[in-house]
Copies of this chain bind each other. A is one copy, B any other.
Amino acid sequence: MGAYRSVVVDTTQSPNAKLRPVPISTVKMEDGFWEPRLKLMRDVTLPSQYDIIEETGRLDNFRRASGKIGGDFKGAYFNDSDVYKWLEGVCLALAYRKDPNLESLADKAIAEIAAAQDEDGYLDTFFTFERKKERWENLRDMHELYCAGHLFHAAVAHHRATGKKTLLNVAVRLADHLCSVFGPEGRPGTPGHPEPEMALVELYRETGRGEYLKLAQFFLDQRGRGVIGGSPYHIDHKPFRELEEVVGHAVRSLYLNGGATDIYMETGDETVMAALERLWRNMAERRIYVTGGVGARHSGEAFGDDYELPNLRAYAETCAAVANVLWNWRMLLAKTEARFADLVELALYNGALSGISSDGKGYFYSNPLSDRGRTRRQPWFDCACCPTNIVRLIGYVPGYIYTTSEEGIWVHLYASNTAEVFLKGRKIRITQRTDYPWEGDVEVGIEPEDEEEFSVFLRIPGWCEGADVSVGGEVASGVGPGYFEVRRRWRKGDRVGLSMPMRPELLTSHPWVESNTGKVAIRRGPIVYCLEQADNPAADVWNIEVNPYAPLRANFRSDLLGGVVVVEGEAVACDTGAWKGKLYQPLKAVSALRRPLKFTAVPYYAWANREPGPMAVWARSS
């Protein structure tokens, strides 16, 4: 039972969720894309993050709080959250596959955490000793609730992965403490950094304690009432149900939306869903990068105005892309609409995955869509939210492949794997054989123990112009985006063939996106490409003008960047030398100087793993 419940978001009992999760532990990835990444997390990233967490005093802060060591608190006041997020990542890895080394690291960390908890359940190592009197005094800035939320997530993941209650007990004591402090009869307040909303709902799901759901609702309802200052940065300028646009700090905004979606799935409050729908449309139609990254502005790490999507100055924080996936996954669970799964896939393969290097030890905080070679991967950050977040996200992937509903099994992501899915208590073995994301052909095997009728819902991605689905000799051709339902009596050995033609496509963007005027982006299947200087020695990639009339060719290159499909095409380019010392010139003076060349584009997620140099997602188009 412990292993069975290793789910990502547990909507098993949620009255307003349409989809039920499939445990991570029951999905065995057998693909060339995610399986190596899951292994990299286990073998390299999580152990190396543990070392950094120790070296930077993040665990010492717990030891200090429990009186085991002396000295000053080290680092930033929100550093507890990095320990919790790393721990959640470890638990996800353990859910996927036993690993004694990781499990012992987790147990060590959990022991330190548990020892640091106060008798009344309070736990935040910054507000200890001389700072004890400042607890809960500054909810807007001080991240106590945010840290609590990440503890809850870690505790829930730990319990679901291992069945152990060591961390869950800590979480429950802290959550009970929160319930005693905040609420209609207690203190007003709401988190300056949303996140506890999702966490409290998950803790409610794991423990059945309704007061945690009520507290999440209370926090949501407190927003826009002046209790934390009323700024758009904190998404506190309006009550949540009155929001029309995604604004403010992008991670805060999307975590809040994720929490509101969790609340909706438990309460069915349609006024909350109406706001979520408005926010989703505003983001998806006006405020998202082609990579699925979000948050245009460095200033305030914030969403910009509609269509404000600079490339070089894009903020597009890794955490915001992760938050985008978390929210859209919840919207998908609530509504089953493919547009949410499209954004899950888009951000996952592009704007979020770009946040970690191919060696698993280098990170991006900001994920610009163009660069002059200045953005370098870092081993860690003073504000280290992103490295642990991308690990969590990769850990979720096996739990994102399938869900179930009353009607049957939903296939959201494509990758070779073998899974066991339970439908009304009966086990169904499901397999995928595919080279996705590099090729669009997928063979889905459905093996019930006994012959049985149910539906298999295959996601036809938004990027796909028309898929063919074949089963038992029947073929549906030109199937458009959405979930395609295959209902039949399934028997052992049944196979569904799904063929999604994957061609390199030039995308253009809305005329009001001024950074992209006259430019094209290359997309093939779920993968968004970029021009990186390393592959294009013949010209500065910022000067390359793609010829939109020439054919684009896709080639798998096993030697490159861990094995990727590159896209090649034809272009012209003007020597940068013609611009020496000049910022503006008559058009006629430069248009004559262009010469033809060929270009090679690589997946955006894989950029900045070689020598630094210029990069561009959006290329000029001639």
Contact = CB atoms under 8 A, between A and B. Distances in A.
Given A299-B298, A308-B313, A582 B517 contact: no
Contacts of A548: 587, 591
Nearest to A507: B584
A373 to B, nearest CB: 12
A518 B574 CA distance: 13
Contacts of A312: 305, 308, 514
A518 B518 contact: yes
A540 interface: yes
A572 to B, nearest CB: 12
Interface in A272-308: 281, 284-286, 288, 290, 298-299, 304-305, 307-308
Contact of A299 (B284, B299, B508, B582): B299
Contacts of A585: 507-509
With most chain B CB atoms within 10 A of its CB, the pick from A517, A518, A584, A587 is A517
Contacts of A518: 517-519, 620-621
Given A312-B308, A517-B517, A508 B590 contact: yes
Contacts of A439: none
Contacts of A512: 372, 542
A286 to B, nearest CB: 6
A339 to B, nearest CB: 11
Interface string A576-615: 1001011111111011000000000000000000000000
A510 interface: yes
A318 interface: no
A515 interface: yes
Contacts of A508: 584-587, 590-591
Interface in A49-82: none
A518 B516 CA distance: 9
A513 interface: yes
A511 interface: yes
Interface in A522-553: 540, 542-543, 548
Nearest to A620: B517
B313 A510 contact: no
A320 interface: no
Given A298-B299, A310-B310, A540 B511 contact: yes
Number of copies: 2
Contacts of A591: 508, 548
Contacts of A520: 587
Contacts of A3: none
A308 B584 CA distance: 14
Contacts of A574: 511
A312 B513 CA distance: 10
A185 B480 CA distance: 81
A506 interface: yes
A336 interface: no
B285 A583 contact: yes
B285 A581 contact: yes
Contacts of A581: 281, 285
Nearest to A519: B517
Contacts of A299: 298-299
A550 to B, nearest CB: 13
A304 B591 CA distance: 27
A621 B590 CA distance: 14
A434 interface: no
Given A310-B514, A514-B311, A517-B519, A507 B586 contact: yes
Contacts of A519: 517-518
A288 B583 CA distance: 8
A290 B582 CA distance: 11
A506 B586 contact: yes
Contacts of A587: 506-508, 520, 548, 621
B288 A542 contact: no
A370 interface: yes
B582 A510 contact: yes
A545 B574 CA distance: 21
A206 interface: no
Interface string A426-441: 0000000000000000
A444 interface: no
Contacts of A579: 510-511
Contact of A511 (B286, B308, B576): B576
A341 interface: no
Given A370-B514, A518-B517, A509 B621 contact: no
Contacts of A313: 304, 308, 310
A285 B582 CA distance: 5
Nearest to A509: B584
Given A308-B312, A310-B310, A517-B517, A583 B511 contact: no
A518 to B, nearest CB: 1
A505 interface: yes
List the 10 shortest-distance A-B pairs measured between CB atoms, nearest first.
A518-B518, A299-B299, A506-B587, A508-B587, A511-B543, A507-B584, A510-B579, A517-B518, A509-B584, A517-B620
Interface of A: 281, 284-286, 288, 290, 298-299, 304-305, 307-308, 310-313, 370, 372, 505-515, 517-521, 540, 542-543, 548, 574, 576, 579, 581-588, 590-591, 618, 620-621
Given A507-B586, A508-B585, A521-B584, 18 more contacts: A284-B583, A285-B581, A285-B583, A305-B312, A310-B310, A312-B514, A507-B585, A509-B584, A510-B584, A511-B620, A512-B542, A515-B517, A517-B519, A517-B618, A518-B621, A520-B587, A548-B591, A587-B621
